[in-house]
């Protein structure tokens, strides 16, 4: 692991306790970043010189603002926000309870709004920053039993494109990443047949890996001239229209 210098860039990763979240935190730290790892519940990991553990429920605006404040107090700046926090609640629309709809939208969409709004304050002042929204192929193409999830993730597409136009003049980039199906807790409950079908839907007949997604996100975070884009990281081929 590369030890961060006093001038190292600072990234906030939400949903840091999940499989992809842990992969992102590890890869950013390995590349010499200072990482604020935000957990929904009390962090169970150990802090290091380069990893600062935070408790953050993204549905609460005040907690998002407090997390950014803690980062600024500790490191003086915030360069990148990775909106990774997300949940699923797969059911046909007619069976979804209103409370479940509200909770999923709050975490997956409003949470990204809360964190982006808090992060933009120092980024706009710095005239430097990057917001990366982790979204989903379901938001692009739809998926049976995922109407709520797809609606929230599709909302992140619109948020990404519109926000990129709003903040581009202040040198803040906004991009979205579709990581593809990954071996995480979200997919652990799927049956072997379902996983095989998901793999078969890919032109390469396999799903993605956490390590590869993490490497791409860290690379994307360094790009200075890319904004308002959607990056799909598996081999499912969607129609242009």
**What are the catalytic residues?**
149
Residue with tokens 């935000």: 38
Q: 106, 110, 129, 183: which is closest to 11 by C-alpha?
A: 129
Burial call 112-142: b when 16+ CB within 10 Å, e when fewer:
bbbbbebbbebbeeeebbbbbbbbbbbbbee
Classify residue 90 by its DSSP letter.
Answer: -
Dihedral class, residue 190 (left if φ above 0, else alpha if ψ from -120 to 50, else beta): beta
Q: d(Cα 95, Cα 68) in Å, to the nearest integer?
A: 37
């Amino acid at each position: 692991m590369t030890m961060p210098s006093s001038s190292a860039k600072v990234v906030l990763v939400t949903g840091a306790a999940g499989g992809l979240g842990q992969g992102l935190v590890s890869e950013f730290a390995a590349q010499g970043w200072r990482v604020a790892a935000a957990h929904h519940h009390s962090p169970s990991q150990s802090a290091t010189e380069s990893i600062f553990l935070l408790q953050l429920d993204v549905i609460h605006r005040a907690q998002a603002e407090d997390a950014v404040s803690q980062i600024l107090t500790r490191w003086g700046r915030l360069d990148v926000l990775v909106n990774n926090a997300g949940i699923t609640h797969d059911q046909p629309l007619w069976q979804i309870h209103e409370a479940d709809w509200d909770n999923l939208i709050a975490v997956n969409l409003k949470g990204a709004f809360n964190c982006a709004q808090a992060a933009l304050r120092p980024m706009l002042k710095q005239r430097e920053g990057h917001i990366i929204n982790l979204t989903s192929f379901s938001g692009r193409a739809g998926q049976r039993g995922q109407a709520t999830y797809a609606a929230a993730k599709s909302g992140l597409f619109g948020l990404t494109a519109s926000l990129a136009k709003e903040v581009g003049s202040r040198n803040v980039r906004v991009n979205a990443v579709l990581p593809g199906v990954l071996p995480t807790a979200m997919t652990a409950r799927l049956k072997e047949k379902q996983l095989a079908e998901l793999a078969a839907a890919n032109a390469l007949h396999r799903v993605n890996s956490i390590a590869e997604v993490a490497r791409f996100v860290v690379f994307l975070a360094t790009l200075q001239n890319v904004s308002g884009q959607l990056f799909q990281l598996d081999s499912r081929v969607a129609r242009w229209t």
